[in-house]
Structure 1
Amino acid sequence: MHAVRIYHNQQCSKSRATLALLQERGCQCEVINYLDTPPSVEELTQLLDQLGMSARELIRKGETEYAELGLDDPSLSEHDLLAAMSRHPRLIERPIVVANGKAKLGRPPESVLGIL
């Protein structure tokens, strides 16, 4: 069916559920274990464009690194946040699914079906 890319974290139940949903729908999935191979700032910028989100919307504020790095500072630029997310990929909300030139956050997992 459709070839899709999923930025996946095996430890995350939403990520596992989204991947299972895609596979049940017959999608050929390119699984990117983004904790092992973090996306670059450029990749994150492209993902944000496809998601229609800002870096602040995609960042996981509950992660330890968020507080440790002072990422709640409103003076930080979009690039500052993207650089932090690339260096500390646990800060990236997940899963992100890319298909047909669009991206969607799999929260809830069914939300990705609209881009297939």
Structure 2
Amino acid sequence: MIKIYHNNRCSKSRLGVQFLEDAGKDFEIVKYLENVPTEAELTEIIKLLGITPIELVRKNEAVWKSDYKGKDLSDSQIIKAMVENPKLIERPIVINGDKGVVGRPTEKIAEIF
């Protein structure tokens, strides 16, 4: 089943949910701000996405700018920062089996059907 890591306060994330609904897909919504992925889960998601941890970070968030920007962080430190501050996780993330994508732009979600 398709999973979308979703933040209802984010317009791009809401568009991702709408895209899946319009495509007639069955999917599960993971409200990642409430059900924060573990470091292991986030590591697995990053592998599925085929990106590095820093590519999943929302670098314009205040907490990133104040606590992490300009520091030489390892991949595991970046993942730990996202787990401790889930607002830093880019959204929406859509996973379908062994494929995943960050749904920006929303049309990218179709790549994993």
Task: Compute the TM-score of the two structures, normalised by the length of structure 1.
Answer: 0.93
How many residue pairs were aligned?
113
1:48 Cα deviation from its structure 2 partner: 0.7
1:48 to 46, 49, 55: 46
Which residue identity is paired with 1:18? G
Give the unaligned 5+ runs of structure 1: none
User: Within 5 Å, which residues of 2 pair with 1:33-44?
Assistant: 33-44=31-42
| 2:84 match | 87
Give the unaligned 5+ runs of structure 2: none
SS of aligned partner of 1:17 = helix
* Deviation readout 1:3-54 (Å, 9 max, x if unpaired): 2000000011111011111011111111000011111111111011010111
1:19 to 12, 17, 20: 17
| 2:111 match | 114
SS of aligned partner of 1:97 = strand
Matched-pair contact (CA < 8 Å) for 1:6–1:96: yes
Q: Whole-Å Cα distance in 2 between the matches of residues 10 and 36 of structure 1?
A: 11
Matched-pair contact (CA < 8 Å) for 1:71–1:81: no
Task: Compute the TM-score of the two structures, normalised by the length of structure 2.
Answer: 0.96
| Structure 1 position 96 matched with structure 2 position 101 | no
1:72 Cα deviation from its structure 2 partner: 3.1
Q: Name the % identity.
A: 38
